[in-house]
Amino acid sequence: MYRTGEGVKIDYAEAFKWMRKVAEAGDGAAQSELGATYENGLGVPVDYQQAAQWYTKAVERGWGFSNLGSLYKYGHGVPQDDRKAVDLYRRGAEIGDANAQSNLGVMYATGRGVSRDYIEAYKWFTIPMEKAQEKVRRASTTIGNSFAVLRNSAALSAIRMFGSSTIVPLAW
């Protein structure tokens, strides 16, 4: 809420205060967000070691694989380790994290931490794209259905304004 400005003015320091309380209570999503807060310096100074600590806690709860993997890939707050990054990306990819899937694809395409394998790279690049396309298809269907209802409603209103007493809704 404070971080995104939903209903309040954006206040990273206030967001940090509340996020930390939830993270300390063991919430994996909050732990991952707190790691991102330290990594990006939102309301606190950038601190990659703190980011790594919070991402590690989040990973233990099934969150933040891609984030922690990127710290290992670049050696921010942890020793640089491409194999560890690949392991974390793979764990996230296997539970459906689109960022982890894309990052794993990059590792295969570049041969970092794994043998270069363009087929595996293509696979891991394609999976999140297909998910995104499915979301777009569902949204398009919803919008299309809503538009059909609106068109039908507009037609009915026009017929009523014309003064017809017999209205037969159209199935468009």
- Higher pLDDT among residues 44 and 165, named by residue: 44
**CA-CA distance, 168 to 154, in Å (whole number)?**
13
For the segment 95-131, what is each residue's pLDDT rounded down to a tens digit? 999 999 999 999 999 999 999 999 999 999 999 888 7
**CA-CA distance, 139 to 43, in Å (whole number)?**
35
**CA-CA distance, 111 to 121, in Å (whole number)?**
10
